[in-house]
Each structure stands twice: as structure tokens, then as C-alpha cells.
Structure 1
Amino acid sequence: MPPAPAGKPLAGKRILLVVSGGIAAYKTPELVRRLRERGAAVRCVLTEAGARFVTPLALEAVSEDVVYRDLWALTAESGMGHIQLSREADLVVIAPASADLLAKQASGLADDLASTLLLATDTEVLAAPAMNVRMWQHPATQANVETLRRRGVRVVGPDAGDMACGEHGPGRMAEPEAIRDAVEAHFGADAPLAGRRALVTSGPTHEPIDPVRYIANRASGRQGHAVAAALARLGADTTLVTGPTAEPDPAGVTVRHVESAREMLTACEAALPVDVAVCAAAVGDWRAAEEAAHKCKREGRDAWALELVQNPDILARLSQPGANRPPLVVGFAAETDAVVANARAKRARKGCDWIVANDVAPGTGTFGGAHNTVHLITGDDAEPEAWPRLAKTDVAERLAARIADSLGEGS
């Protein structure tokens, strides 16, 4: 594809803009104008609630295209128009993304044109939430946004500030310029890891005892999957090697599903060479010395002595000097006490470049949860970066940005 003309980084890109209900809808004509200035073609879908705040005529005027509103419009739907709308787009943008539409999208509901096309689309989605601060901070909304992020939906905003309802706090829709910038970043106008290769491990491993039982841990895979998705969004050609997890495969990532630590090591070595390896998986340290061919029965025994042997150390293997050692190897250290001290010792022992230390002591809700509190340790003498408690998706975004900065400095 030829490069976009100067000043038109979105030339040839087709944006489907979904406008849902909320006072912030008054900003959408300006958003359409900003996107078209950069060369994009914009087609609008307006919900019934959205039409209370911005008129179809205004959106038609700035987009110079038809505004779609009705799922049951015979002309549009004769060719399954709700599916065709999303298929013809290079990116779906929801602005404003109301609490109602986010909840429908997270739950898979489809009772109007907007929610139906969001359920039917395989096109990537960028959402700009906008709502009252209490609605934004409600656990239901936060859970819905976290669900959508894990499915690959990118979220921009909301901003904090004064609102039309008279309250102050997070919930204002990101400004049109910020949404436009996020769209440009999606298409690689700002892809700092373009041309780079990344390897990420995630989830637990299952170490078989017999055909029925296995040794495992409580890891959910949320953090590793989020890191893989964040690196891919920055342009990296990303391979994710994951143990068994309920997490969906991240969009735009090559995924290798494995069960055991030995299988994970084999898949990691097959993915080399890479520019960065992030070992976020909670790999089982031990496995049964012998895997029984048949289910081990409890009858006839009062106790069962299970002999264990060490699993291969994937982080240490990837950190070993050699032709295939990645320029940057990042490990994770899940600790229950002396978090930073134990993580520093692990970094020295494994030979990796960075360690992300996280506290998984009982009561933190970190192991398997949606949030993380981490320290990034980048050197023996460097003071660890103490990050605030963040959603795991936000931890991933920060880590990916730090990786991009580091690789950029070394190029």
C-alpha cells in the first residue's frame, strides 16, 4: 500500500462511528470533521438516545454520507446491512460510549442497530466512554469495561473534569482531538514497535500426575494476555504462549496454547529470535517424576507420597547468553513477602534484564484478579518504579510503553 499523503495519515481508512446517548454527543460532528481532515471516510450510526443530543442532519452534513439509525429499515437491511456496515469499516469507533451501550456490548445483547453490529463485527473497536462520574465508577461499569478490554476493545478516556450534571470527576468523553489521535495510533501512525518481534508467556501450567489429575496454580492469565495485546497495539509482531486459561485470545496476536512447562519452553524456543520476551506466566516449578498411565485409586492406601522433580526454568533459559537471547528479557515475580528484595534476588539469579514484582499475598486480590500493584526493577542499582494499583490492562499499557522506549533507545 502506498504511503498516505502528507498531512493525511488516515487517507483510505473507513471509520464507522457509533454515536450513543449522552450530552457528549454534541462533540461528534467535530470528531467527524477532525477525522475527515486527516483523510478518513466516516460513516455514522446514531442510536435513538444519541439522536436526542445530535441530529442526523448534522452528522450527514459533516460526514457527507447517510446516517444509519434503524435496524428494521427495509432498504438497508435487505442485504443484512448491520453486518455489511461493520465489514466495510477498517475501525469501529464508539463516541460517546454510554454506560448502556458498553453494558450491552459486554453482555452480547443486540436489540438495536448499534448493539447488533457490535455483536456481529470482527472489526476492531475503539470506545470513548462518557457518563456521570458515579456511573463510571460503579463496579458494574468497571467490570464491563474490563471485559471489553480483555476482548481487545481499546478504550480512550474518559477524562476528569466538570460535567453537565454539575458533578466533577472522571466521566467526560475524551476530546475529539484525543480520539482522532487514538485512531491514528491504531493504524500505525504512532507504532513505536513496528518491525519488532515480541514473545509473551501467560497463564498457569498444568503438570500431569495421571490422566485425571494435575498440579496447577491460581494464575488467570489476565496480566500476560493484556501485555501481549498492548505490545501488538504498539505494532509488535507478537507471539503469546499460554497455558490453560479462560482468557480470550487477544486480537492481532499469534497464540500458541500449551499445557505443561516443557511444552511452554518448546513453544518459546520455536518463537525465537525476538526483540523482547516477557515471561508473565506462572510456570509450575515442579512436576511429577513419573506420570501414571492410569488413574491412581485411593483404595488400599492411607497416604500417597508423590515424588516431584524440577521443571525447566523458562525465564532463565531465555536469559542465557547466546545468539538467540532477546535484547530485552522481562520476568515477573509474584511474591507474598519482601516483594522488592525477593524480586531483585530473582532478577540476579535468572539473569533477566527487568523484573516486574507484584504482591500476591492473601487478601491482595492480585492473583487471578483484575488489578495489580507492581514495582518495575530495571537494574541492580536502579530504584524500583513503584506503580499505583492499576487495572491489569493499564499495567500492560505502561509496561509496553516502557519496552518501546527501551528498544527505541537501543536502535
Structure 2
Amino acid sequence: MRLIFFSFLVEEKHVDMARIEVSNAALCLDYLNMPGFRTANITINLVPSGYYAFMNYAAPYWLRHLENGLTQADYDCDLLLELQEPVEAFLAIHFTAPTKQFYRSQDNVRKLQFFRAFKFYDNLETAVVSTRKELTFLGEMKPGEVALDLASVVCTVRGYLEAAYLNATEKVDRDSLERIYGENMFKCPRLSCHYFYLGFQTPQQRESHVEKHTRPFRCDIISCPSSTMGMSTMKELIKHKKDIHTIIQEDDEDDFPEETELAPPRSPKPAETTTKPREPKAPKPLKVKRARITEYRCPQCQKVFSKKFNLDSHMITHGGRRDFLCNVCGMGFARENDRTRHQATHQEKEYECGGTLNNGQSWGCHKKFARADTLKNHHNSVAGRACIQPYLQRQQESLYGPSL
């Protein structure tokens, strides 16, 4: 009902949408031009007052309001002149010249036509193209493709915000921060991700989520370290499964059309003096597409697999043969992969829990493990989380700044 009423107000021109969009764009830009958004002026002292409460909206939405305002204003120069000063100051503060040359579409040139006479036009056009990619691209932006420092400014501010939240000694202080900035304080740094706004309850949940942006393609062999670490591209994952697990990725047979008999070649029609009426063709029978098999269940232990080759590999373990013998202790295994994984336990344990931080401080219990997945399981335990906490804290400080 409210949407219908609002549409009525717009259609009857009781609400000037062009002025609203221009005002919202100017509001976002003026807010981001405030001194507290310059890298040298960002401080934890501004966090409790709610100084950065509007940041999560203004950082991504300034462009949407700017483009909508330019489109709906229909070259109303008096209205659009309200944007000149905020845009010019915004670019002077946040523009960083990228090394990549961006493609300028005709639609983009048409939208920004009003600013063509101003000296900052080229920088504005570059910033618009770059920011639009940041808002829609799910992959990793390269440093040379970023035309504004907003993403790094947001990360720095959030680092101080998270530090204030984690170091709050009183529950009243934490409740106050949650009322201002929301309950989920630990947010994804990607502008294109909805968790940029929603966030997570703990930094561990956020870090686990961010890993999926950089290495989203994971091996489906549970014992493989790449099932947790993942790959950056599908091509790398296919090569990994072929080289390590000797699995050749094949499409399901249902992805291809069923074979049909070829029609016999047509014989040339004899010359006829009279035209005969064509006989109606019999309708072709409809093909019934076979249902795709999504589950392959083991008949002996009832384990379920999503791929047939995984079930075939699993069925070997139910056989009595143990043809793959360990070269060290002679233990037999049904599959070569199992034997290879076992033999790694006899090798020198090269995966150590611990290391040295940049400041020279040592972290971890320095216990050694034969396999990477065993080390990861250790870090997921209660004792292991205590070991790796200094390392994660140092990483967080390098990304978001030191906790105060």
C-alpha cells in the first residue's frame, strides 16, 4: 500500500525524485569528504560518538544516487550544479590514479555529460567505471583497477571499530556500539558482497568467509588439504584432481542430447504436371528426459555420494583385497590414495604449529605434524586456537591497523 501511494505521489509530481536523488548523492559525498575519512585523521576516538555510523551506506551508494540524479534531472543545470562542489572535493580527497585504462561506454559518457566542462571530468569518469566494477565484480580487484581509496579507508575504520568493540571492558560500552553500528560488527571488505552490510558475530566467521572469495573452488576428496584450502579457479581444481587424484572431470551423460536415427536421404521428386495436396505429417513422439541422478548410495554402508566415480572409489574399500602395501611398515590398503596418505605419516613431520611474527615474537606450541590437514584439525581444537591466536591477531593488525 505504501509503495502504491509513493508511486502516486511521484506520478502526480508531488515528489521530485530528481531532487531527492541529487540531494542523497550530495549527502553521501559531503559525508565522505569529512575530515575523519582521510587516512591521516582516522582515529578510534571518533568511534563511540557514532561518527562512522553512515559509512556502510555512503561508501557504496554515492554512485547509485549520483547516476540516478543525473538521469532523472534531465540536464537541469541549476539542480545539478549542487553536485559540482561535493564531487570535486570528493575526487580531490579520495581519487588515486589507476594504472589500467578503462573502457568508456557511450551510456556512461551520456550520463556524465553535464560534468564534461569541468576539469575533474576525466577523474570522475574513471572513478565511476572503477566503482561500478567494485560493486558488481565477485572476483579480486587488482590494485591497478581501483580508482578510489574508499575500500582501504573503510577497512581502516572498521579495524578501529572492531578494536573498540573487542577491547570494551564494560557490557554497556559494547551495547552502545551495537546500537550504533549493528550487532554483527565483523563485516566482509568486498563491496559486491551482501556481508559487507550484514557482517558476522565473530572475526573467525568473517575470516572463514573471506577465504571463499579468494579460493572458492574446493576439492571434493575429504582427506585432501585442498578440500579446506580451495583453489582460485575451476581450471586449477580440474588440473589438481587429474594430477593428484587421477580423476578426469567429465560431464554427465544427461548433459548431451540422446542419439537419434538419421533420416534417410531424400530422393529427388519427379517432375509433375499437377500439384498434389500434401499429406499431413504424423506428430513426432515426445522425448522423455531421464531424471538426473543426484545421489549415489553405497549398498553396504549407506554412505551417499554426489558423483558416481566417488562411489566407485569408495566401493573398493569394502572389498577384501589390500593390494597397495606401505613401503615402510607393509600395511595393506585398498586404494592407492589411502596408501599414499598413510606413508606420509612415516615421513619427517614438516608441518609445524608455530613460527615467528614480524616483531620477532614466537607463536604456537611448535608441535609437528605429518600432514597439512592434521595441522588444520589441531588449529580447530581448543588448544590449537590458543596457539594460532597471536598469528591471527597480527594478521588483523596488518589489515586493519593496531588495536588501541
Report the TM-score, using the length of structure 1 for normalisation. 0.27
Structure in which a larger fraction of residues adopt helix: 2
Larger Rg: 2
Report the TM-score, using the length of structure 2 for normalisation. 0.27
Structure in which a larger fraction of residues adopt strand: 1
